[in-house]
Structure 1
Amino acid sequence: MQKDQLFTRRRMLLAGAAALGAAGTAGVVVASGGGEETHSAVPVAGPQARQALKPSAFRLQPFAADAPPRAAPRKLKARHEPILRISGRGRHMMLTFDDGPHPEYTPHILDTLAEYDVRAMFFVCGEMVVENKKLVARMADEGHVVGNHTWTHPLLTTLSREEIRGEMERTSDAIVNAYGERPQWFRAPYGAWNRAAFQLGAEMGMEPMAWTVDTTDWMTPGTDTIVDRVENGAAPGVVVLSHDAGGDRSQSVRAIRRYLPYLLESGYHLTVPPRRMS
C-alpha cells in the first residue's frame, strides 16, 4: 500500500473512531476516579538537563541488541481498561508519539529530546519499522521506550481475533529484529480497545497504554494549538499523545521544540515506565 493511500485511509477511519476512542477514554477516567483501583504506570525519572549534552553523556547502550529473539514473552494478567496516567510523587509527565518511525519527522523529535536529555515512548507501526530499523534502534539506544502500535494501524474493533493477533505479533517481531527486545507496551490505534486486544497483549507480555491529553496533531491544527494543548493540559501524571508519522508532522516537530523547555522550566519531570526484567 502506498503511504499516501495509507494516510487517506487513516483520516477516514479517524472520523468514525475518534468518538469511540474518546468515549472509551472518558469512561475509564470516571471508573478510575470513582473508588475503583487505579491502574497506573510507575515512572522512571531521568535527568532533566537544560543544556545540550554530548552524545556520550546521554546515550544508553542498546538493550541486548545482538541477542536472538526470545522463544516466548512473559504472559501478564489481562486488564479490562488501558493505563491512562503515570503514578508517583511529584510533577511527573510522559510524552508519547504514535505511528512512526518516519525518516523525515522522527529524527527531529529525537534530536529535541536528546538536547534536553528527556526520554519518551514511541508506539511504532510494524510496516514503518521494517523500513526504518535504524531509527528504532536509535530510540532504544537513547533510552526511549518502544511500544507496539500494530502493523498497519487498523481499527481493531473491526477485525477478528486472529487478525488482531497477526497485527500485534508481526509488529513485535519487527521490533525484536530492529533492536533485540520485545515491546512491553501496546497501544490500540485510534484508542479503540476491545477484549481481544487486552487479552492478546497480555499473552504477548504487553501492558495497554492510552493517554490523558490528546494534542490532536493528526488534524494539523497549527503549531500554536498543539503547544497550547500540551501546556494547558500539563499536570502530574499526565500522558501526552502526539504523532511522528501518519501524515505531515512538521507542526509536531516545531511544537515539541517550544513546549518541552516550557514543561522543564515549569518543574515537570518527563519520564518513561520502568523496563521489566524477564
Structure 2
Amino acid sequence: MAAASLLSSCAGSDATRPASGHRGPVRAPSPQGRQAAEHARLVAAAERWGLKRVPLTPPPPPAEKPEITARAGFEVSHQEDWDLPPVFTTIPTKRKIVFLTIDDGSEKDPRFLKMMQDLKIPYTAFLSDYLVKDDYGYFRRMQSYGHTLDNHTLHHPYLPGLSYEDQKHEICGMQDIMKKQFGKRPTVFRPPYGNYNQDTLRAAKACGIKYAPIWNEEVYVDHWEYREDDQKMRRGDIVLTHFRGRSDWDGTMIDDMRRFLNKITREGYAVARLEDYL
C-alpha cells in the first residue's frame, strides 16, 4: 500500500507539472493581437497581388437599411403604384463606400477567386446561363466564399425588343436555373446592357425580383467609364465590371481588379457588400 501510495503521489506530481519546454498554459491572442495579425496578412496579400495599398475595410452593415427607390429619370409608367422593382445606380448612404458588381460569367479564372478571397473583397455576380452552364461549379465555389449570385437572364438579350412573355421567360427561366444550381431564387436582377422597359420590370416582379440595380461607373483593365458628367465616384455608387480575360481584353481579371482596387483605395473608398444595404 505504501508503494502504491508513493506511485500515485509521483503520478499526481507529474500531471500537474508543466511539460518540458512550456511555461504554462497557452493564452488565446487578444482582439488587438488578432487585428494586428489580420492586418499583417492583408499587407502581405496586397503586396502579393501587386496592389499599391491595402484595401480599406468597410464599416459594419447598417442597423437600418436605406430606402431604395428608382433613380430620377429611370422610372417607368406605374413605377410606384404597381410597386415595380426600382432601377438605381447608387445606394443612398453617407458612408464612403462603393459596391462591386460583375456581369455575365464568361471568364472563369481561379486566380480571381483566390485574389478576392485573400483580400476579403465582397462582390455580387450577375450571371447569364448561356455563359455559366459549362462550369456551374466555379460559381458554387464563389458562392461558398460568401459572394452573392444574382440574375442576368438566360441568354443576355436586349430585353425591350422582346414581348412581355419572352422577357418573363428570360428572367423566370434564369430564376429556375439559379434555384436548381445554387439553391435559391434571387431577389436582385440586372437587365442586360442596362436596358429595360415597363414589361421588363413587370416580368421581373412576376419572377420574384425586388431590385434592379444597374451602375454608375464601369471599370476595364485600361480605363474607367462614368455615368456622371463630372467623371467622379460618389458615396454608395455601384461599379460594374465583367468576367473577362485576354480573349476579350488586353489583360486579365487580376489586372482589372488591381486597377479597380488601386483607384478606390487611393480615393478613400472601401468595398461594401451590396446585399447588406438591400
Identify whether the pair has TM-score above 0.5, normalized to the shorter chain: yes
Structure with greater helix percent = 1
Q: Which entry has the higher C-alpha Rg, 1 or 2?
A: 2
Shift of 1:129: 2.8
Q: Measured at CA, do residues 108 and 269 of structure 1 come closer, stay the same or move farther in structure 2, by a change above 3 Å?
A: same
Shift of 1:50: 3.3
Q: Secondary structure at the match of 2:185?
A: coil
Kept in 1: contact 2:126–2:152 (CA 8 A): yes
In the other structure, the counterpart of 1:242 is 241
Shift of 1:262: 4.2
Q: Deviations over 1:6-47 (max 9, x none)?
A: xxxxxxxxxxxxxxxxxxxxxxxxxxxxxxxxxxxxxxxxx9
Query: How far apart, in 2, do the equivalents of 1:195 and 1:180 lie?
Result: 29
Query: How far apart, in 1, do the equivalents of 2:263 and 2:87 lie?
Result: 28
Q: Secondary structure at the match of 2:165?
A: helix
Where do 1:148-167 residues align within 5 Å?
148-167=151-170
In the other structure, the counterpart of 1:82 is 87
Gaps of 5+ in 1: 1-46, 54-75, 218-222
Kept in 2: contact 1:98–1:245 (CA 8 A): no
Kept in 2: contact 1:154–1:189 (CA 8 A): yes
In the other structure, the counterpart of 2:112 is 109
How many pairs are equivalent? Answer: 198
Q: Secondary structure at the match of 1:242?
A: strand
Whichever residue aligns with residue 273 of structure 1, its letter is L
Kept in 1: contact 2:126–2:189 (CA 8 A): yes
TM-score, normalised by the number of residues in structure 1? 0.62
Q: Deviations over 1:52-92 (max 9, x none)?
A: 49xxxxxxxxxxxxxxxxxxxxxx9313x512112223101
- Which of 215, 218, 233 is equivalent to 1:214? 218
Q: Measured at CA, do residues 179 and 150 of structure 1 come closer, stay the same or move farther in structure 2, by a change above 3 Å?
A: same
Which deviates more from structure 2 when the two are superposed, residues 91-100 or residues 255-264?
A: 255-264
Kept in 1: contact 2:218–2:224 (CA 8 A): no
Shift of 1:173: 1.6
Whichever residue aligns with residue 42 of structure 2, its letter is R
Q: Measured at CA, do residues 186 and 178 of structure 1 come closer, stay the same or move farther in structure 2, by a change above 3 Å?
A: same
Shift of 1:245: 4.2
Q: Deviations over 1:108-141 (max 9, x none)?
A: 3333221210111111001223222112212221
Kept in 2: contact 1:94–1:271 (CA 8 A): yes
TM-score, normalised by the number of residues in structure 2? 0.62
Q: Does 1:194 align with 2:200?
A: no
Quote the RMSD (CA, aligned, Å).
3.1
Query: How far apart, in 1, do the equivalents of 2:182 and 2:197 lie?
Result: 29
Whichever residue aligns with residue 78 of structure 1, its letter is L
Whichever residue aligns with residue 156 of structure 2, its letter is H
Percent identity over the alignment is 25
Shift of 1:177: 1.9
Whichever residue aligns with residue 92 of structure 1, its letter is I
In the other structure, the counterpart of 2:68 is none
Where do 1:120-199 residues align within 5 Å?
120-199=123-202
Kept in 1: contact 2:244–2:252 (CA 8 A): no
Query: How far apart, in 2, do the equivalents of 1:118 and 1:265 lie?
Result: 16
Whichever residue aligns with residue 209 of structure 1, its letter is P
